[in-house]
Amino acid sequence: METDPYTFEWQNVPAGNHLLIARAVDNLGASKDSSPRFLTATGNGNKPPTITLQLSSDRITLPDSVTLTATAADPDGAIAHVVFYDGATRLGQADDAPYVFVWNAASPGNHLITARAVDNLGAETVSSLRFLTVWPSPLPNDNTPKLSVSATADDTVRLTVTGPPGYYIISMSEDLSTWVDIYPVTIEASGVGAVDDSGGPLHYSHLYYRVRLEP
């Protein structure tokens, strides 16, 4: 500081112990240090960012893409970047608002999508889960049943089957190796049948469903 009162406000103090001094320098270059003062800072006081995530659609048919849009803000700093994930797989990163990622290479199946906001001091917040169902490209006269998953509550998902009229069985797996039949679904002339599952899809990092037509 060059004028009286000689005051400095230290912001974003790193956590830890600090030894502070003030040094006065006169017009001829002579200097004198003050007595040291100790300062202990616990934590950096940084508030975490906020983030919400929206999908352009919760079900697509290849080769369609899906747009992931995050709304992120930081109450006491700035957003450094937003990273988008499919489960634990990193899809992409947006460094500037609007925080958008267009996913062109989604694989057929069910996906759990999240976005992670990181602020300028490294604090992170993860968005709520969003479900995405990706159907493969249809073949001519393809009557293969299709299954989509959408959240209807914090602990419930709706399993929707589309296909020709008939009797279907929905199975579930946690590892894609062991499958358990969990629900029957009957499809009438409308071509659509659905059942709500409150068995805990949000309690697992990965949960898989498939459907088959019973003869």
Residues 40-59: tens digit of each pLDDT = 776 667 889 999 999 999 98
What is the location of CATH 2.20.130.20 in the chain?
A: 139-213
The correct CATH number of 139-213 out of 3.40.50.720, 2.40.40.20, 2.60.40.10, 2.20.130.20 is: 2.20.130.20
* Span of 26-30, 38-42, 115-119, 169-173 with lowest mean pLDDT: 38-42
158-207, pLDDT tens digit by residue? Answer: 899 998 889 999 998 887 788 999 999 999 888 899 998 876 554 444 67
Q: How many Å from the N-terminal Cα to the C-terminal Cα in the chain?
A: 85
Q: b/e for 27-38, b at 16 or more Cβ within 10 A?
A: eeeeeeeeeeee
**Range 50-133 has CATH code 2.60.40.10:** yes
By the 8 A CB rule, do 47 and 78 touch?
no
Mention every residue, 6+ apart, whose C-beta is less than 8 A from residue 74.
47, 49, 50, 117, 119, 120, 123
The residues of the chain that CATH labels 2.60.40.10 are: 50-133
Q: What is the pTM (predicted TM-score) of this model?
A: 0.56
